[in-house]
Amino acid sequence: MQPTLLILAAGIGSRYGGVKQLDKFGPNGETIIDYSLHDAIRAGFGKVVFIIREELKADFEDVFAGKLAGKIDVDYAIQALDSYVPAEISPVIDRKKPWGTGHAMLCAKEHTHTPFAVINADDFYGFEAFQLISNFLQTDTDDSLHAMVGYEVQKTLSENGSVSRGICSVKEDGNLASVIERTKIYEEKNGETNGRIVFEEGEDLTGLDPKTIVSMNFWGFKPSVFPLLEQQFESFAYANIDSPKSEFYIPTVMTNLIQTETGRCKVFLSSSTWFGVTYPDDKPKVQAALQKLYDDKAYPDKLF
């Protein structure tokens, strides 16, 4: 059974200043999503579900429907502010931004009936990552075993500001012990600590080993996760009625599965090149990286 690819593309892009999901980065005007789709099809994925806001659907159809026809099945899941929010509390929640990546994944529940992977729309992961997850999803039969692709934190930073990453701890058996979302990670650029990678927690700074494994939101799940995910989100929504900026992250979902022993997560470490877009000033670096991949013949002149 071919796995499904869920692409998280409902973000507002406040730090980027626009819809970076559809921005053109490649030498021939390709989006970053184009590269992910090319790699996913090569790796054996049979369907893609774009998780988007309603107002983006027409634009996504214009960009992707034609080029993907006959190559991979295409579907769209809408992440609305009231999706899966308990009816009795939905009217009293004053929310302006999406609920987060865990909620986005839940919004694809009715569109996903096979083992599936989840990725960010604005991250380039490399073919190896898709192949690792695809092989796992097509061969592993344990419904409680999920997976993620990790990268070394030193390879995932931005020169233009702090980034959010899931800091991972891995057990000796190769399964995930814990993942904690850190929202302000960066490389220091001052005095004696120049080059040290740190994250902020309140007013404290904590150093990170450059080889620390981090989650870049490349996950592999079995469909059995959805009932557990829905229960978790309902509890989260009730607990955050008065916190309109709180977000329900996929790492939160995985941590709960591990702690309650309702799921496990195998960690694959990728050696692929990763790069992504958080800030407008990241764009030239991404364009240069994609140009080099073309120059090295890693991708064809025309992806589709």
- Name the domain count of the chain: 1
Q: Do the domain assignments include residue 302?
A: no
Look at residue 301 and tell me if it is in a domain: no
> What span, in angstroms and rounded, lies between the C-alpha atoms of 29 and 291?
11
CB distance 304 to 34 below 8 Å: yes
Asked if residue 271 is part of any domain, the answer here is yes
- Decide if 211 is inside a domain: yes
Region of 48 on the Ramachandran plot (φ > 0 left; ψ -120 to 50 alpha; else beta): beta
Provide the percentage of residues in the chain whose pLDDT is more than 70.
Answer: 96
Span 52-102, pLDDT tens digits: 999 999 999 999 999 999 999 999 999 999 999 999 999 989 888 889 999
Residue 222 lies in a domain: yes
pLDDT band at 204 (very low <50, low <70, confident <90, very high): confident
Q: Does residue 131 have a pLDDT over 60?
A: yes
Tokens 């220091």 identify what position? Answer: 188
Q: Provide the CATH number for the domain around residue 175.
A: 3.90.550.10
Encoded tokens for 26: 């490649």
Mean pLDDT value across residues 136-163: 93
Structural domain span for residue 150: 4-295
What is the predicted pLDDT for the residue at 242?
92
On whether the CB atoms of residues 168 and 215 are closer than 8 A, the answer is yes
Distance CA 54, CA 40 (A): 25
304 in any annotated domain: no
Q: Does residue 64 belong to any structural domain of this protein?
A: yes
Q: Report pLDDT digits (tens) over 208-241.
A: 999 999 999 999 999 999 999 999 999 999 999 9
Q: Is the dihedral of CA 232, 233, 237, 243 positive or negative?
A: positive
Residue 303 maps to a domain: no
Q: What percent of the chain has pLDDT over 90?
A: 76
On whether the pTM is more than 0.95, the answer is no
Long-range pairs, 165-174, Cβ under 8 A, ≥24: 165/214, 165/215, 165/216, 166/214, 166/215, 166/217, 166/249, 166/250, 166/251, 167/199, 167/208, 167/212, 167/214, 168/212, 168/213, 168/214, 168/215, 168/267, 170/213, 170/267, 174/266, 174/267
Residue 92 contacts residue 242 (beta carbons within 8 Å): no
